[in-house]
Amino acid sequence: MKRGFKYRFYPTEAQAVELSRTFGCVRKVYNLALQARSEAWGQRGERVGYEATSALLTVWKRTEELAFLGEVSSVPLQQTLRHLQTGFTNFFAKRARYPRFKSRKKSRASAEYTRSAFRWRDGTLTLAKMADPLDIRWSRPLPDGAVPSTVTVSRDPAGRWFVSLLCEDPGVRPLPATDAVVGIDVGLEYLLVLSSGEKIGNPRHERRDRTMLARAQRTLCRKQVGSSNRAKARVKAARIHARIADRRTDHLHKITTRLVRDAQTLVIEDLAVSNMVGNHRLARAINDAGWRQFRQLLECKASWYGRDVITVDRWFPSSKLCSTCGALAADMPLHVRTWTCNCGTTHDRDVNAARNIMAAGLAVTVCGAGVRPQRNPPSGQSVMKQKALRCEP
Backbone angles phi, psi at 290, to 5 degrees: 75, 45
What are residue 325's phi and psi, to 5 degrees?
A: -110, -10
CA distances from 326 to 316, 355, 372 (A): 13, 11, 16
| Angle CA 304–307–308, to nearest 5 | 125
CA nearest to 294, candidates 263, 241, 254, 262:
254
Q: How far apart are CA 248 and CA 203, in angstroms?
A: 8
Catalytic: 185?
A: yes
Q: State the greatest distance between any 2 C-alpha atoms of the chain, in Å, as a whole number.
A: 82
Whole-angstrom distance, CA of residue 135 vs CA of residue 109:
19
Q: 112, 206, 269, 288: which is the annotated catalytic residue? A: 269
Residue in 368, 369, 192 with CA at minimum distance from that of residue 268: 192
What is the distance between the alpha carbons of residues 235 and 158, in angstroms, rounded to a whole number? Answer: 5
Rounded Cα distance, 37 and 43, in Å: 10
State the catalytic residue, choosing from 185, 209, 288, 308.
185
How many whole angstroms separate alpha carbon 221 and alpha carbon 301? 41
| C-alpha span between 216 and 244 (Å, rounded) | 14
Active site residue 65: no
- Measured distance CA(117)–CA(40) in Å, rounded: 31
Q: How far apart are CA 108 and CA 26, in angstroms?
A: 11
- Which residue type is seen at 62? R
Q: Specify whether 350 is catalytic.
A: yes
**Alpha carbon 345 to chain centroid distance?**
40
Those residues with Cβ within 8 angstroms of residue 360's Cβ, 6 or more apart along the chain or in another chain:
267, 312, 316, 318, 372, 373
Sheet of 161-168: strand order equals 109-114, 150-155, 161-168, 2-9, 136-137
Q: Which residues are catalytic?
A: 185, 269, 350
